[in-house]
Chains A and B, each alone.
Chain A
Amino acid sequence: MLRRDTLAQLGRALQGCFQHTLDTLSRDDTGRALEEARSLAALLERMGAKELSVEAAVAGTLSHLQAHLEERATRNASAPWLAEALEYTASWPLRLLQQLLPEAGASGWHLWEQRLRYFVYERAGLIFTDSLFDLVVDFPDSLPTLHDLRACLENTSLLSHVAQCFAAATKKRLLHPGAATSDIVQQYIFSIRAMRHVDPTDTALAPARAATQDYLRTRRDAIRCIVGLLTADEEGEDNVVLEELEGEGEAGGAGVGWGMGVPLIPCFDGPDADLQALAEAERWRPEPVDAVERVTGSDAVSQLVGIWGSKDLLVTEYRSLLADRLLAKQGYDCDRELRTLELLKLRFGDAVLHTAEIMLKDLADSKRINANIRSAARCAARGERAATVTATMLSALYWPQGSVPAPDEADLRLPPDVGSWLEEYGQAYHALKAPRKLQWCPSQGVVQLEVTVGDQALELTVTPAQAITLLSFRERSEWGEAELAEQTGQTPAMARRNASFWAMAAYEPFILGMLANFDSLPQDRIHNMLKMFVSDPPYDKTLDQLSAFLAHLVAQERLTCGGGTMYKQKL
């Protein structure tokens, strides 16, 4: 009993001693610590407990390595360090082990080396796994570290642990009510992309993916969000969904169950078909034992669409977004939309996207017809005013219901002069495309006006309702709210809002000038500065009026709203 206690104590002392030797390698007392460790090992050997000294030395080495790895991970979060750590392990720690226990022989050392390497892979893998979610967020900057993790997974059996941890981190940090749907979708795509580099067999991602898909299914705006990302204007780095749609690069392959499939059995042709087949066969690796059922060859977009099991929902949503986007467009240029449509057609097939194609064709036709009418109108003396009109002709049946107001719906009442321009334009269309006739939707589109306030001339692009409201003030300088609403065919609330818009328009240059000189300003600061510095016309508006006007400027893409009530100049 006594002997066992003594031995255990000696073992612990040796372990500590050896670890200390390694910890203080660069310092002066290394030699002394090593001497001490040697004498302890000799003592243990004399007491007939040689195995114990080996165990203690290895344990000391391992705890040194553990500290070493942790220190490396905190010091070097961005650069890859696994290879260096392995190299380090093979140098000092192993060499000192050999010095301490010279009689173990080459095969013993080889075993130790294996053991130390495994330890490093495992510990490093655990360290990477702890920060895996952040690594995915930082993707592709974190790619070297992800490759390190991959090496760890290939040399250990951590795969299912990684999968569980990543799913837990995703649930905790992403799948909660505080996260915006677009962030979830983007992070989901980043996960898919990043985890391809960690684990090509898809096992590590599977639980997190299942959790994300389940969660997205509960979010009502998820489809709209995905489609929005698909059709977004910006080509910036943000738009990962579109990138995925475009890029066959990384994952290759096409959708699950529809579109072009990848042949399951590769075909080899030509004179060296045998060689190719052989090479392919040699590349083949069995799946890891803990592999889950694979979603073979499916890329991020298919996985996203797959959430709802059917593409119909997505296509419907796409059409309605496309309608909004096309109707908000000034001009007929829709190259970008066409490109997105082509990409979607590749994926979902032509048939379901037929109506969307007609919508885009409407715009192309409109461009041609409009140019025709305008050049004809310019030649004919009487139709000159029709040439100020630019129209988009829609085949109403093919546009999503609700995107275009029905003809019998109450709409804006145009002033007689403006109405006559439209009528002339309509007649020109009828002459060109008889028997077809145009049915106007006056509330859609935009109006470009030149307004003179005092001695400054403003070029403004406004909504038809705003323009009509202003034009009503040509005949009378004061209107009652109900009267104005009746006159222009708006609701009283709309009439009031549009009238107060014009009261604000004179301050637009000041607001823009202010924001040109300050990076961003909160709404109440803008309000105060207008009050303080603008005297002609004196600023007498309320914060609510300003707020509505700022919202209008944001909608016009003159300003951007950086969250809350901070406003910035649109660059």
Chain B
Amino acid sequence: MSTTATSGSIGGQPSPIKTGSTEPLQRLDTAAVAKRLQQELMSLMSSGEKGISAFPQGDSLFTWVGTIEGASGTVFEELTFRLSLNFGADYPFKPPTVKFETPCFHPNVDLQGNICLDILKEKCVRTVLQSIQSLLADPNNDSPLNVQAAKLWDQDQAVYRQMVMKTYNAAKTS
């Protein structure tokens, strides 16, 4: 990955280049996105917010690992969920792709961990994580990805908690 954008001819020019290769433009974008992500990392780390956290994975700034703790007083209490966040070169104009890596029994999360898209309109990492955390406690049952979870949520919270624990622990032991 190249994060240096030193090319004088392009730097600072907001107008799109219509002719020739688009590669320099992409590189510039990548650099800008990387810079933006770096700033978000700084603010996320210094905010020290409880219950949510994220950090770039391995050697790329574009793939992050996120961690969300279930809010206390909800069925997800005391559980920790891992997420993956993938940022495209068009970030922040397009939201990152967020997936649950820890299986999560939730109306708006499918069995592969994909999350119902409309909550991902949020732009920055911190607000994405915050809205997923609040989605855990407050699902949108009108357009569920996991129909069983949506039904059970309305029927019986105690049984729902059992299902959450079962899903969660199955992943831990496997």
To the question of whether A and B form a pair in one complex, the answer is yes
A residues contacting B by CB (< 8 A) are: 455-456, 509-510, 513-514, 516-518, 528-529, 532-536
- The reply to whether A513 and B53 contact each other, CB–CB distance below 8 Å, is yes
- The reply to whether A517 and B46 contact each other, CB–CB distance below 8 Å, is no
- The reply to whether A518 and B65 contact each other, CB–CB distance below 8 Å, is yes
Of B55, B64, B67, chain A has the most CB atoms within 10 Å of the CB of B55
- B45 sits at the interface (CB 8 A): yes
- The reply to whether A509 and B53 contact each other, CB–CB distance below 8 Å, is no
Q: Which residues of A contact B67 (CB under 8 A)?
A: 516-517
Q: A516-B67, A518-B65 are in contact. Are A529 and B56 (CB under 8 A)?
A: yes
- The reply to whether A517 and B66 contact each other, CB–CB distance below 8 Å, is yes
Q: Which residues of B contact A514 (CB under 8 A)?
A: 55
**Complex CA–CA separation, A528 to B55 (angstroms):** 13
- The reply to whether B59 and A532 contact each other, CB–CB distance below 8 Å, is yes
- The reply to whether B46 and A509 contact each other, CB–CB distance below 8 Å, is yes
* New A-B contacts (17) at CB < 8 Å, excluding given A517-B64, A533-B41: A456-B46, A509-B45, A509-B46, A513-B44, A513-B54, A513-B55, A514-B55, A517-B53, A518-B55, A528-B59, A529-B56, A532-B56, A532-B59, A533-B38, A533-B56, A535-B42, A536-B42
**Complex CA–CA separation, A535 to B57 (angstroms):** 16
Among A510, A528, A532, the residue within 8 A (CB) of B45 is A510
Q: Which residues of B contact A516 (CB under 8 A)?
A: 53, 55, 67
- B8 sits at the interface (CB 8 A): no
Q: Can you list 24 residue pairs at the A/B interface with Cβ under 8 Å?
A: A509-B46, A509-B48, A513-B53, A513-B54, A516-B53, A516-B55, A516-B67, A517-B53, A517-B54, A517-B55, A517-B64, A517-B66, A518-B65, A528-B59, A529-B55, A529-B56, A532-B56, A532-B59, A532-B61, A533-B38, A533-B41, A533-B56, A534-B41, A535-B38
Q: What 9 pairs across the A-B complex have the smallest Cβ distances? A: A456-B46, A516-B53, A517-B65, A509-B45, A517-B55, A513-B45, A514-B55, A517-B67, A510-B45
Q: A516-B67, A517-B66 are in contact. Are A455 and B46 (CB under 8 A)?
A: yes
Contact mask for chain B residues 84-96; partner A; CB cutoff 8 A; 1 contact, 0 none: 0000000000000
**Complex CA–CA separation, A348 to B120 (angstroms):** 66
Q: Which residues of B contact A529 (CB under 8 A)?
A: 55-56
Shortest Cβ gap from B62 to chain A (Å): 12
Of chain B, the residue at the smallest CB distance from A457 is B46
Contact mask for chain B residues 31-56; partner A; CB cutoff 8 A; 1 contact, 0 none: 00000001001101110100001111
Size category, B interface: 10 to 19
Main secondary structure, interface of A, reads: helix
Of B45, B57, B65, chain A has the most CB atoms within 10 Å of the CB of B45
Of A455, A516, A528, A535, chain B has the most CB atoms within 10 Å of the CB of A516
Of chain A, the residue at the smallest CB distance from B69 is A516
Q: Which residues of B contact A518 (CB under 8 A)?
A: 55, 65
Q: Which residues of B contact A517 (CB under 8 A)?
A: 53-55, 57, 64-67, 82
**Complex CA–CA separation, A529 to B41 (angstroms):** 12
Contact mask for chain B residues 58-80; partner A; CB cutoff 8 A; 1 contact, 0 none: 01010011110000000000000
Q: Which residues of A contact B66 (CB under 8 A)?
A: 517
Shortest Cβ gap from A539 to chain B (Å): 12
Q: Which residues of A contact B56 (CB under 8 A)?
A: 529, 532-533
- The reply to whether B61 and A533 contact each other, CB–CB distance below 8 Å, is yes
**Complex CA–CA separation, A518 to B59 (angstroms):** 14
Of chain B, the residue at the smallest CB distance from A459 is B48
**Complex CA–CA separation, A533 to B65 (angstroms):** 14
**Complex CA–CA separation, A529 to B53 (angstroms):** 16
**Complex CA–CA separation, A536 to B55 (angstroms):** 16
**Complex CA–CA separation, A532 to B45 (angstroms):** 15
Q: Which residues of A contact B53 (CB under 8 A)?
A: 513, 516-517
Of chain A, the residue at the smallest CB distance from B54 is A517
Q: Which residues of B contact A510 (CB under 8 A)?
A: 45
**Complex CA–CA separation, A455 to B48 (angstroms):** 13
Q: Which residues of A contact B38 (CB under 8 A)?
A: 533, 535
Shortest Cβ gap from B34 to chain A (Å): 10
Of chain A, the residue at the smallest CB distance from B44 is A513
Shortest Cβ gap from A197 to chain B (Å): 29
Shortest Cβ gap from B38 to chain A (Å): 5
Q: Which residues of A contact B42 (CB under 8 A)?
A: 535-536
Shortest Cβ gap from A499 to chain B (Å): 23
**Complex CA–CA separation, A516 to B48 (angstroms):** 11
Of B42, B59, B67, chain A has the most CB atoms within 10 Å of the CB of B42
Q: Which residues of A contact B48 (CB under 8 A)?
A: 509
Of chain A, the residue at the smallest CB distance from B48 is A509
Q: Which residues of B contact A456 (CB under 8 A)?
A: 46
Q: Which residues of A contact B61 (CB under 8 A)?
A: 532-533
**Complex CA–CA separation, A529 to B58 (angstroms):** 7
Shortest Cβ gap from A254 to chain B (Å): 42
**Complex CA–CA separation, A301 to B32 (angstroms):** 66
